[in-house]
Every structure is written in C-alpha cells, then in structure tokens.
C-alpha cells in the first residue's frame, strides 16, 4: 500500500511539472508571434504615425 501511494504521488508531481512546462512554451510561442507581427507591421505603423503627425502640424498652422 505504501509503495502504491509513493507511485501515485510521483505521477501527480510529474504531471504538474509537465503542465507548467506546456504553459511556458505556449506563452513563449505567443511572445515570439507578437514580436514577429510587430516587426512586420513596424513600417506601416511608423508611416501612419508620421501621416497623423504631419496632418496635425499642418492644421495647427
């Protein structure tokens, strides 16, 4: 009986560790995807901000 309890405890402990690792991998994948999307959209965002800035400067003169 004691051996069975030790085996069950070991399974539960390894299961939690595996789940935490999976969450970390998912968060890392989301971070990488966000960074790649930011890099891809950076030129368009900078152009949009420049256009808005120029429009605001032109209308205040």
If pLDDT is split at 50, 70 and 90, which confidence band does 1 have?
A: low
Q: Is 8 within a domain? A: no
| Domain assignment present for 36 | yes
- Structure-token pair, residue 54: 């120029």
Domain of residue 27: give its range. Answer: 22-61
Total domains in the fold of the chain: 1
User: pLDDT confidence of 20, banded at 50, 70, 90?
Assistant: confident
In a domain, 42, yes or no: yes
Instruction: Please count the residues of the chain.
Output: 61
Show the tokens assigned to 23. Answer: 């969450």
Q: What is the pLDDT of residue 9?
A: 72
Place of tokens 């152009």: 47
**Is 51 a domain residue?**
yes
Q: Is the pLDDT of residue 50 over 90?
A: yes
């Amino acid at each position: 009986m004691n051996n069975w309890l030790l085996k069950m405890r070991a399974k539960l402990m390894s299961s939690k560790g595996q789940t935490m690792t999976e969450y970390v991998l998912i968060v890392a994948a989301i971070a990488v995807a966000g960074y790649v999307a930011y890099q891809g959209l950076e030129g368009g965002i900078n152009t949009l901000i420049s256009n808005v800035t120029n429009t605001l400067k032109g209308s205040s003169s």
